[in-house]
Chains A and B, each alone.
Chain A
Amino acid sequence: MDMGTILLWAIAIALIVQAKRKACHAIWPVFRQGLTSFIAILPRFVMAVVTAGFLGKLLPGDLIVSLIGGESGLGGVFLASLLGGFVPGGPLISFPIVVLLRDMGAGLPQLIAFLTAWSVLALHRVLMYESALMGWRFSVTRLASSLILAPIAGVAALLIV
């Protein structure tokens, strides 16, 4: 078992202990709910991994490296920021894509820009939830304020790495 797994289960156990101490909830139904959501996600996750694996073999790796590889610098950060904003769907879709891009040779700052753009822009989320609940004025102001966040994160990572 690696560090990540141990860390995640340590946090899970700490939370379970805390929930038990507060004693306002029965622990077992919550645990079963976590198990159910894991089981519900697993088949789709396996399919996403399989798809990403095949695409990784099919897509031209050279192209990915030249566009958003470690050597692509500022241009790669901006391109990745643009691409990330158009990824439709939640983490089940975006993270396999990020893993795929990493395995094909995308650079760390470029991946950070990609992931940040997807997180803050997430147009599907704006259409389905944000604009409906908060109104377009709020959504547009927030989106406009967020346009530069992905390039900023990418450039900051570029300076650190």
Chain B
Amino acid sequence: MHRAIGTSFWVFFALAAASGTACWIVLGPDAFWRSLGEDVALVIELAPKLAGAAQVAAFVPILLSGEMVSRMLGDHAGLRAIAIAAGIGAVTPGGPITSFPLVAALRAAGSGELALIAFVTSWSTLGMQRILMWELPLMGEHFTLLRILVSIPLPFVAVGMAMMIVRHGSGRA
């Protein structure tokens, strides 16, 4: 967990200071203050959403453990395993620090590569936690729904592509 004011904060701060200085010099103080005023309004609008989203992010993992995910994926095979993997990927919380060890554990438990690709693709494009925490608050319902709709086929497309790539590769060898 990052501290609130750590190294990465100062990187963000330096970017804000640099872009703010450029704005002041190029466009003048009026544009600088107008931009800051808009930012205040945006932060006031978004802060309660981020606070709610942070609670969602905190509670989802205790309701859904890696062990549960592994059990759900279990012995299924073929298209069924891929569909289940895609479904589980979408509800698996957390960033790459928690999800990739889970993917590695699933492989160790015997999950096929195609199911794992479906899982990672689904987690990254349809991951509920990121949608709730970032996309819905920042981009709104219309954008989010449209993006979810066009992203539902993506895990299956990725699996189809992977099958072609693997077949092509082994044909050559």
Contact = CB atoms under 8 A, between A and B. Distances in A.
A134 B56 contact: no
B97 A129 contact: yes
Given A133-B101, A153-B154, A146 B54 contact: no
Contacts of A46: 39, 43
Contacts of A90: 95
B133 A91 contact: yes
A36 B3 CA distance: 9
Interface string B61-94: 0110000000000000000000000000000000
11 contacts: A12-B56, A18-B59, A31-B58, A36-B1, A41-B54, A54-B32, A102-B143, A120-B124, A120-B154, A129-B96, A145-B165
Interface of B: 1-5, 8-9, 12-13, 15-16, 19-20, 22-23, 26-27, 31-32, 34-36, 38-39, 42-43, 45-60, 62-63, 95-97, 100-101, 103-104, 107, 113, 116-117, 120-121, 124-125, 130, 132-141, 143, 146-147, 149-151, 153-154, 157-159, 161-162, 165-166
Contact of A122 (B57, B58, B124): B124
Which of B54, B139, B141 has most A Cβ within 10 Å? B54
A16 B59 CA distance: 7
Contact of B2 (A33, A35, A40, A128): A40
Nearest to A160: B146
Dominant SS among interface residues on chain B? helix
Interface residues of A, number: 80
Interface in A1-40: 1-5, 7-9, 11-12, 15-16, 18-19, 22, 24-25, 30-31, 33-40
Contact of A40 (B1, B13, B158, B166): B1
